[in-house]
Amino acid sequence: MNQSNKKNLEFIVNSGVNYFLQDSPRNWFESEKKSELSNANINYGDKKNQIDDVINDIKNHSSNLQKSANKLVVYDGNLNAKVMLIGEAPGRDEDQQGIPFVGRAGQLLNKMLLAINLQREDVYITNVVNWRPPDNRTPNDDEILEFLPFLQRQIDIIKPKFIFLLGGVAAKAILSTPLALGKLRGKWHEYKSLNLEVSIPTIASYHPAFLLRSPQYKKYSWEDLQMLQEKLKNES
CATH number at residue 174: 3.40.470.10
Q: How confident is the model at residue 219 (pLDDT cuts 50, 70, 90)?
A: very high
3-state secondary structure of 75: strand
Reported as a single tens digit per residue, the pLDDT across 91-107 is 999 999 999 999 999 99
What is the mean predicted confidence (pLDDT) over 29-33? 43
> Which residue type is seen at 223?
E
* pTM summary value: 0.84
Q: 16-20, 174-178, 225-229: lowest mean pLDDT where?
A: 16-20
How much of the chain exceeds pLDDT 90, in percent?
A: 80
How much of the chain exceeds pLDDT 70, in percent?
A: 82
User: Shortest CA distance to 172 belongs to which of 199, 144, 192?
Assistant: 144
> H/E element holding 4?
helix 3-14
> In the predicted model, what is the mean pLDDT of the chain?
88
* Within-domain flag for 37: no
> Which residue type is seen at 90?
P
pLDDT of residue 42: 58
* Within-domain flag for 34: no
Residue 13, CA atoms < 13 Å, CB-side half-sphere: 6
How many folded domains does the chain comprise?
1
Reported as a single tens digit per residue, the pLDDT across 130-181 is 999 999 999 999 999 999 999 999 999 999 999 999 999 999 999 999 999 9
Which residue segment(s) compose the domain that 74 sits in? 3-15+43-235
Contacts of 138-145 spanning 24+ positions with Cβ under 8 A: 138/88, 138/89, 138/169, 139/88, 139/89, 139/169, 143/63, 143/65, 144/169, 144/172, 144/173
Cα–Cα dist 225/110, whole Å: 12
How does DSSP assign 207-230, residue by residue?
-HHHHHH-GGGHHHHHHHHHHHHH
Alpha helices in 72-190 (DSSP H): 92-97, 104-115, 141-158, 168-175, 181-184
* Within-domain flag for 142: yes
* Within-domain flag for 30: no
